[in-house]
Structure 1
Amino acid sequence: MKLNPRGFGLAGAAAAVGLGLVIAGCASTVEGTPTVNQADATSYRAEAATSSAAAAAAKAAAAQTKAIADNCDPFRATTGTAVDRYNDFVDAHDGNTGDQTAKRDAAAGALEDAAKTVETRVGASGPDLPTDLAQKFTDYVTAARGLSAEVQKMASTSPVGPLNDASHKVNDALNAVRGACPAK
């Protein structure tokens, strides 16, 4: 293999120029003390904080929207079965039919099941569910359990006053939740 003296010379010259530039660049220093531009730093910190707060707010809003949907969307179906079983019982009680006891037990069970389901959903949502809406769901749970207890006490000759009072509380609680939930 034969060396090309011309190519070798050209490569050597380029390396020498590059080395000279590096040495010349390192030879000069800038006097002074490095400092932070406080206006730029303050502006950057404010932008970072605003961006972080916006991201946190968006995350919280999304969690709240999900919690509301997780509770409000199934509420009507969950409580609808309990209302139907209760109405079946009332019809049987008023008519003094032979299946009154079975319908009483079905109504009490359906009311308790609805209360448990609503309570579980509210608990699963935790702090993401707005406090005022969570309270309305809790009021329904309490009223449904109260009505279930009154239904269980009923016999064909029982006075209906306590049952009617408990039923009104459930209706009020149902309406409060439905009024607070977004319309579908």
Structure 2
Amino acid sequence: MKLLNPRGFGLASATVAVGLGLVIAGCANTVDGTPTVNQAEATSYKAEAATSSSAAAASKAAAAQAKAITDNCDPFRSTTGTAVDRYNDFVDAHDGQAADQADRRDGAANALDDAAHTVETRVNASGSDLPADLAQKFTDYIAAARGLAAEVRKMGNNSSVGPLNDASHKVNDALNAVRNACPTR
């Protein structure tokens, strides 16, 4: 059997003792004082975080508003254009005492109601993303179109055209208000 080498054992023991002593000595030192927050840096960080969050929310709101405006304004002309065409066909038939006057009357009234319903559905789907002033203009059109549809349904060969003309002016005013408020493309 081989005996331990006393020099090797001594050298290894001394190395371990010195290393252990260094670790203990290093951990024994303490730093005096009380930990504190750098208030200037903390305030700056909080301000930057709030600004970033606010900017993100504003950007999201602006994108939602732009989408709502596009979703309502872009199809408005084609949606209401059909109703205007059907109404004009009815007026021509009424003025000319055409045989298909009743059919054109019903077609005009239905087209006006359909346009009002379609516009109303889009406005409701947009909710608060649609600017309030523009939403009101669409709402005014909806009411005017339904009012004109009701007057169209009342028309017969000998009916007074006064109420029909009044309702038609309201629709034209509402159409123009929406078209003027919508961005041009």
TM-score, normalising length: structure 1: 0.89
Pairing 1:30-179 to 2, within 5 Å after superposition: 30-179=31-180
Match of 1:5 in 2: none
SS across alignment from 2:156: coil
Question: For 1:55-110, what per-residue CA distance to the aligned partner results, in whole angstroms no more than 9, with x for missing partners?
Answer: 00000000000000000000001000000000000000000000000000000000
Q: Deviations over 1:135-181 (max 9, x none)?
A: 00000000000000000000011111100010000000000000000
User: Per the alignment, do residues 16 and 82 of structure 1 end up closer, same or farther by CA in structure 2, a change over 3 Å counting?
Assistant: farther
Cα 1:27–1:84, aligned 2, differ >3 Å: closer, same or farther? Answer: same
Distance 1:89 1:28, change over 3 A: same
AA at the equivalent of 1:153: K
Gaps of 5+ in 2: 1-11
Any idea what the Cα deviations from partners look like across 1:93-132, whole Å, max 9, x if unmatched? 0000000000000000000000001011101100000000
4+ residue segments displaced more than 2 Å: 11-25
Distance, in Å, in 1 between the alignment partners of 2:158 and 2:48 is: 73
In structure 2, relative to structure 1, the CA distance for the partners of 1:108 and 1:33 (3 Å cut) is same
- Residues 16 and 85 (structure 1), Cα distance of their counterparts in 2 relative to 1, 3 Å cut: farther
Note the C-alpha offset of 1:26: 1.8
Gapped runs of 5+ residues in structure 1?
1-10
**Alpha-carbon distance between aligned partners in 2 of 1:95 and 1:54, rounded to the nearest angstrom:** 61
d(CA) in 1 for partners of 2:13, 2:149: 98
- Aligned residue type for 2:169: H
Q: Return closer, same or farther for 1:87/1:19 CA change in 2, 3 Å cut-off.
A: farther
Structure 1 29/80 Cα, relative in aligned 2: closer, same or farther at 3 Å? same
Corresponding residue pairs, total: 177
Give me the whole-angstrom Cα distance separating, in 2, the residues matched to 1:54 and 1:138. Answer: 31
CA positional deviation for 1:18: 6.8
Q: Distance in 1 between matches of 2:15 and 2:147?
A: 94
Once the 2 structures are TM-superposed, how far is the Cα of residue 25 of structure 1 from its aligned partner? Answer: 3.2
Please give the root-mean-square deviation of Cα atoms over the aligned residues, in Å.
Answer: 2.2
AA aligned to 1:28 is N
**Corresponding residue number in structure 1 for 2:3:** none
Q: Which amino acid is 1:122 matched to?
A: V
